[in-house]
Amino acid sequence: MLVDSHCHLDRLDLSLYGGSLDAALDAARARGVGHFLCIGVSAENAATVKALAGRYPDVGCSVGIHPLDLKPDEGTDLEWLIQEVSHPQVVAIGETGLDYHYEPQAAERQQASFRLHLEAARETEKPVVVHTREAREDTLWLLREAALPRAGVLHCFTEDWAMAKAALDFGFYISLSGIVTFRNAEALREVARQIPADRLLVETDAPYLAPIPYRGKPNLPQYVREVAEFLADLRGVDFDRLAQDTTDNFFRLFYPGGRPTRG
């Protein structure tokens, strides 16, 4: 069994499946994907991801505001975050974090929002899903400052081993996406070889960042298998072992009370 630990089911290109999300999920299930985490990125899509998680027994969701979805005239509402996390299918807070690549001028506003997400994670004891791009020092500074009793995951990781090691020391997991298969990602592959087996997750970030051989096409949850197969070969381990480890890691992080059994 595999888990797609980070996907945007409400944004998928479903043209291959006649517009049917059911068919797209069935295609992933047929390739061994047994669970999906549908990620919230804004206040506007929180209801959508919760509805999807309520519709499918093998889908969970998170709620949060992506750093690039912050509105200039609005701040993140701590009370809203805490209330949203009380929903039974919401298993995490985020995605949140820092992205200075597109909006370096918004660094202060992003940091304030990230702090509130981390505070919500502290108060609710939910794991936090962290996005970080070209903000390495500030991301680590805020994670260190938060000192969360229950950490989370740095998703779609593209940074160096020093950052990975620091996050691991904070108790975080590291999730790898199709980027690790890209031809120009040798530095990331060096990191991927070093991540401890009990801290590794796999994801698609669908509909973005499709792995080779689908690069340049819309990504789908079923392609998490390509990511896992690539990592198993890269790390010199049996595919079934890597699939089991990453699945166990996912449920340990997001479902500490045991795997969901909704019928």
Half-sphere exposure of 32 (CA within 13 A, CB side): 15
Q: Is the pLDDT of residue 75 over 70?
A: no
Q: Which domain holds residue 99?
A: 2-254
Would you state the pLDDT for residue 74?
66
Q: Which residues pair with 202 in a beta bridge?
A: 176
Segment 69-80 mean pLDDT? 82
In a domain, residue 110? The reply is: yes
In a domain, residue 136? The reply is: yes
In a domain, residue 260? The reply is: no
Cα separations in angstroms, 59 against 8, 25, 43, 115, 205: 11, 10, 19, 27, 15
What's the mean pLDDT when you consider all of the chain? Answer: 95
Domain containing residue 236: CATH number:
3.20.20.140
Q: Is the pLDDT of residue 17 over 80?
A: yes
In a domain, residue 202? The reply is: yes
In a domain, residue 261? The reply is: no
Would you state the pLDDT for residue 80?
94
Q: pLDDT tens-digit profile of 224-262? A: 999 999 999 999 999 999 999 999 999 999 999 888 775
User: Domain tally for the chain?
Assistant: 1
Band of the pLDDT at 94, cuts 50, 70, 90? very high
Segment 5-10 mean pLDDT? 98
In a domain, residue 262? The reply is: no
User: 134, 218, 131, 227: which is closest to 180 by C-alpha?
Assistant: 227
In a domain, residue 9? The reply is: yes
Q: Which residues pair with 153 in a beta bridge?
A: 129, 173
Would you state the pLDDT for residue 127?
98
3-state secondary structure at position 27: helix
Band of the pLDDT at 183, cuts 50, 70, 90? very high
Cα separations in angstroms, 232 against 27, 37, 121, 181, 198: 22, 22, 32, 12, 14
Q: pLDDT tens-digit profile of 41-61? A: 999 999 999 999 999 999 999
The pLDDT > 90 percentage for the chain reads 93
Least confident of 59-63, 70-74, 168-172, 245-249: 70-74
Q: Torsions phi, psi of 85, nearest 5?
A: -70, -15
Q: pLDDT tens-digit profile of 102-132? A: 888 999 999 999 999 999 999 999 999 999 9
In a domain, residue 263? The reply is: no
* Other residues' Cβ atoms within 10 Å of the Cβ of residue 83: 12
Would you state the pLDDT for residue 247?
98
